Amino acid sequence: MLTSECICTHLRRAARGVSRHYDEALAGFGVNVAQFSLLRHLQRLDRPSITTLAEAMGLERSTLGRNLRVLEAEGLVALADGDDQRNRVVLLTEAGTQLLRAAHPAWEQAQAELVERLGTGQRDELVRLLNQLV
């Protein structure tokens, strides 16, 4: 176990472990948890611009752009013109919708396993604490 009191060290280590847990659950669907999260954001948002999507996900536009290119090549998302020439919107394709539908039970199982490990009260407290750091 780490003896460091550095919050960043502990958060990054925990984030890698949690990501690995979800990645293993989603492996059979050809996406990792970051890609799955991006698709879920698109499912919830109505034709977001790249800037809006980046802000919603807490990502830099350049990082989001790299992730979108991968998903676009897989046919899971599409880019379209927005209200003006300067604004592009991101769309979830039918293939992306089908992937989310198929992978959702695996994500739910991964989520349930972590909640079981922590307990509902500690999960709620963890989410509360993490929101304070955002």
Per domain, the residue ranges of the chain are 30-111
Q: How many CB atoms lie under 10 A from the CB of residue 92?
A: 22
For the cut 80, the answer to whether the pLDDT of residue 86 exceeds it is no
Does the pLDDT value for residue 1 go beyond 80?
A: no
Residue range 73-93: mean pLDDT, rounded: 88
Residue given tokens 């611009």 in the structure block: 49
Residue 59 confidence class, pLDDT cut points 50, 70, 90: very high
DSSP 8-state code for residue 87:
-
Per-residue pLDDT of 19-52, as tens digits, reads: 999 999 999 999 999 999 999 999 999 899 999 9
CATH of domain 30-111: 1.10.10.10
Instruction: List, for residues 115-127, the tens digit of each pLDDT value.
Output: 999 999 999 999 9
Cβ(53)–Cβ(42) below 8 Å: yes
Integer Cα distance of 37 and 113 in angstroms: 18
Rounded Cα–Cα distance for residues 92 and 40 (Å): 9
The answer to whether residue 84 scores a pLDDT higher than 90 is no
DSSP 14: H
CB atoms within 10 A of CB 36: 21
